[in-house]
Amino acid sequence: MGRFLHRRGWLTPYALLTPGMGWLLVFFVVPMYYLGKMSLEQGFFPLFSFGWAWSNFSDAVSAYQTQFVRSLQYAGIATAIALAISYPLAYWIAFRGGRWKNLFLLLVIAPFFVTYLIRTLAWETILSDNGLVVTFLHNIHILGSNGRLLATSAAVIAGITYNFLPFMVLPLYVSLEQVDPRLIEASSDLYANRAVSFLRITLPLSLPGVFAGVLLTFIPAMGDFINAQLLGTPRQYMIGNVIQSQFLSLRNYPTAAALSFVVMGGILVLVLIFARALGTDRLTAGAAA
């Protein structure tokens, strides 16, 4: 067998690829095919029939435009806040963490030991109208006496930010960790002050991490529905809530499938634009080096 593989060395990479490709085929390509087929079906549950019903797409988009735009906004804001919080955090762990680095990283992912749903329910308690946070904000008059946090857009965005924060911190940390401190030393030798060093050396070198972090946060945030359901009101519902209700409550599978494709397509386009703007070729090259 060994000699066989040795003689047919060109086969080895393909043999190694088989499990991964097989997995993708069974759990990605095949479901995608059926989802695609379903999105073009028509009729009422349980008797759907295939009929190239492209109108499913246009109807879905025009009916749920509000939720699409809202999802983009919430996911965008949550990603921006997560980036603003994570960058200094990852920077600090990478450059000042010293021998505690691993402990700090563990703390960042520690919430993941608790189920997603439970974490979100915990936020429901934290932001409760009679909870500590709201009472405190009332006392210092940031919130009016009738003001609340729970069941507002702020609560939903905060929930999304919190839930996906580690996805932002980890890639940022990895790229910042790889920055060679000698480069920063060299820049100060060349009379760059700390701000210039950061802007010209550290920031550009960490961009692959920013790119990865933004994608890892934005994509799941865009499709999220738990935060809106538990921490929001109907006026905060996102496209994920619509897809969930189309699938499970209305059993309108074609519309649900069409909506899923629109979300996927939308995200893909946004990612391509984003990659273009940041110049991924340079980024991946930077990451490889």
Per CB under 8 A, residues contacting other proteins are 44, 46, 63, 67, 125, 128-130, 146, 148, 150-151, 230, 232-237, 241-242, 244-252
DSSP 57-80: HHHHHHHTHHHHHHHHHHHHHHHH
Q: Which is nearer to other proteins, 217 or 246 (CB)?
A: 246
Least separation, in Å, of the C-beta of 37 and other proteins?
15
Q: 159 CB contacts (<8 Å, ≥6 apart)? A: 120, 123, 227, 230, 231
Q: Which is nearer to other proteins, 236 or 280 (CB)?
A: 236
Distance CA 73, CA 89 (A): 24
Q: Which is nearer to other proteins, 55 or 188 (CB)?
A: 55
Q: Which is nearer to other proteins, 19 or 234 (CB)?
A: 234
Least separation, in Å, of the C-beta of 185 and other proteins?
55
Q: Which is nearer to other proteins, 71 or 86 (CB)?
A: 71
Helix, strand, coil percentages for the chain (3-state, nearest 5): 80, 5, 20
Distance CA 175, CA 202 (A): 10
Let me know the angle formed at the C-alpha of 197 by 191 and 199, rounded to the nearest 5 degrees: 135
Least separation, in Å, of the C-beta of 7 and other proteins?
47
Least separation, in Å, of the C-beta of 250 and other proteins?
6
CA 16 to chain CA centroid, Å, is 30
Q: Which is nearer to other proteins, 1 or 47 (CB)?
A: 47
Least separation, in Å, of the C-beta of 52 and other proteins?
21
Distance CA 145, CA 1 (A): 77
- Three-state DSSP class for residue 224: coil
Residue 252 backbone dihedrals phi, psi, to 5 degrees: -95, 75
Distance CA 234, CA 228 (A): 8
Q: Which is nearer to other proteins, 108 or 259 (CB)?
A: 259
Least separation, in Å, of the C-beta of 82 and other proteins?
25
Least separation, in Å, of the C-beta of 40 and other proteins?
19
